[in-house]
Amino acid sequence: MKVIGWKGFWLFSTVVVWIAGCSSDPNPSTSEGKTSGESVQVDAAQAKETYQSNCMSCHGDQLQGAQGPSLEKVGAKFSSKEIETIIQRGRGSMPAQVSLNPEERKNLAGWLAEKK
């Protein structure tokens, strides 16, 4: 087995630090981040309509959960931005909601984030 020497050690260390810094989420979630003071203008009527058309079949008519988890207090667990990302990309068995445009996703996420 060959010893890599100091140059190899420093190169390896640099690569490891660089990879660790390449997180896909530049602001990892913490419990403090859930109340980030985000200001999202929410059209509640539009958000409810979007919810009824796209989410209600899995999350229930009162956000109580059914096939999907309850969303009654989702805003206590996730920020508006985190909820928007989940809507956009999906999570677990929930598929990405590709039929929603960015404004609909943002409005729905803001409305859900108010549920604490």
Residues at the binding site for heme c are 55, 58-59, 94
Residues annotated within the binding site are 55, 58-59, 94
Place of tokens 């989702």: 74
Query: Cα–Cα distance between 10 and 8 in angstroms, integer?
Result: 6
Q: Residue 112: how many CB atoms within 10 A of its CB?
A: 24
DSSP output for 58-106: HH-TTS--SSSPP-TTHHHHS-HHHHHHHHHH-BTTBPP-TTS-HHHHH
By the 8 A CB rule, do 68 and 59 touch? Answer: yes
Tokens of 104: 């609909």
